[in-house]
Amino acid sequence: MNRRKLSLSIAATILSLIVVVSIALAWYVWPVFNNMNSGDTPISVYVDEDDTMDSIRIKVGSPKRWEVLQWYFETKPRTGHYLIQPGEKMLDVYRKFRNGTQSPVRVTVPQVRTLDMLAARLAKQLMLDSATISSAFRDTSFCNQVGYNWQTLPALFIPNTYEMWWNTSIDKFMQRMQRENKAFWTEARMEKARKIGLSPVEVVTLASIVSEETAYVPEMPKVAGMYIRRLQIGMPLQADPTVKFALGDFALRRIYFAHLEVESPYNTYKNKGLPPGPICIPSIKAIDAVLNHEQHGYLYMCAKEDFSGSHNFACTYSEHLANARRYSKALNRRGIK
């Protein structure tokens, strides 16, 4: 083989290598410029502290593409909630994860009966686990920092849906709840509370009783007015839901005299005035029902015998006993014990 043929052979070999390498490189790198989400809706990816690069690849749903630029990360992406938008390029997604450019989540503070129930519901919406949340709720010094104790703490939470970061800490979450509570208690609401002679915590405590007494919203101001009248004349509230709370048995359908003997500051049959704190996290409608309660002469209420969810109201005890007998007979007919 002469030199000319040798040179051509070497050149051909080099060119072939260049083509092969280029094809391989293109096959490996081209996905970087492809879409990570070819669908019509955003893809949510939640990265928590326990995630590894492998688990994140699975969550993203494109393990091969994710592998291409794994070298881009010095460490795994920061915790948080990330949205991969339709048509978003892979390189943009990587940058988003690396820089911690997360998207907020919508967190609903629900109407629930106990702080443990609240902790369980929040844990499903935030990176926090329920044990961490419950522990904070029970911590005296932690509660004091936000201006409450474990009994009054439910009054801090205003049921609503809020936007926040998924990896929000328990401290940041409580600070947000303080801001929302302050925004809720406008001067107009504060003035109405002052006219009743109750603090915001006491208003929420009464609202929690109203909320547990009736789910029928139009009736709430009337129920609230009855309890406010009892408070004003020094009559025990005698609210059955407070007995259920004291017993820790929310499934009770009937309250018997034996139940009324439970020793608890929440038993409003044995203790005059409001209980130490809310017996649930009431709705905004229940809170406003207390602030805008009806003024009337009723002192008693009893569930209607038609089980409609509304109540019969009475001004005298004899009228109330007649209502109670009708309801008791209706319970017996249905075999409710």
Query: What's the whole-number mean pLDDT along residues 182-191?
Result: 98
State the DSSP H helix or E strand holding residue 44, giving kind and residue range, or none if neither.
strand 43-47
Q: What is the DSSP string of 84-118?
A: E-TT-BHHHHHHHHHHT----EEEEE---SSHHHH
The answer on pLDDT for 152 being more than 90 is yes
The whole-angstrom separation of Cα 305 and Cα 298 is 19
Q: How many residues does the chain have?
A: 337
pLDDT (0 to 100) of residue 3: 60
Confidence of residue 329 (pLDDT cuts 50, 70, 90): confident
Confidence of residue 25 (pLDDT cuts 50, 70, 90): very low
Choose the weakest-confidence range: 52-56, 92-96, 128-132, 175-179. 52-56
What average pLDDT is seen over the chain?
87
| Amino acid present at 52 | T
pLDDT (0 to 100) of residue 28: 47
Contact 177, 156 (CB under 8 A): yes
The whole-angstrom separation of Cα 251 and Cα 241 is 11
What pTM, to 2 d.p., does this model score?
0.84
pLDDT (0 to 100) of residue 23: 47
Contact 210, 198 (CB under 8 A): no
Task: List, for residues 77-116, the tens digit of each pLDDT value.
Answer: 789 999 988 888 777 887 888 888 999 999 999 999 999 9
Confidence of residue 142 (pLDDT cuts 50, 70, 90): very high
The answer on pLDDT for 204 being more than 60 is yes
Helical axes 187-196 vs 284-291, angle rounded to 10°? 50
The whole-angstrom separation of Cα 309 and Cα 313 is 13
| pLDDT > 70: percent of the chain | 84
In sequence order, which residues have a C-beta less than 8 Å from that of residue 80 and are 6 or more positions away? Answer: 46, 47, 100, 102, 165, 166, 167
Task: List, for residues 27-73, the tens digit of each pLDDT value.
Answer: 444 444 566 777 788 888 898 988 877 777 777 776 555 565 555 55
Per-residue DSSP letter, 35: B
In sequence order, which residues have a C-beta less than 8 Å from that of residue 19 and are 6 or more positions away? Answer: none
Query: What's the whole-number mean pLDDT along residues 253-278?
Result: 94
Contact 90, 68 (CB under 8 A): yes
* Residue of 114, 147, 152 lying closest to 133 (CA atoms): 114
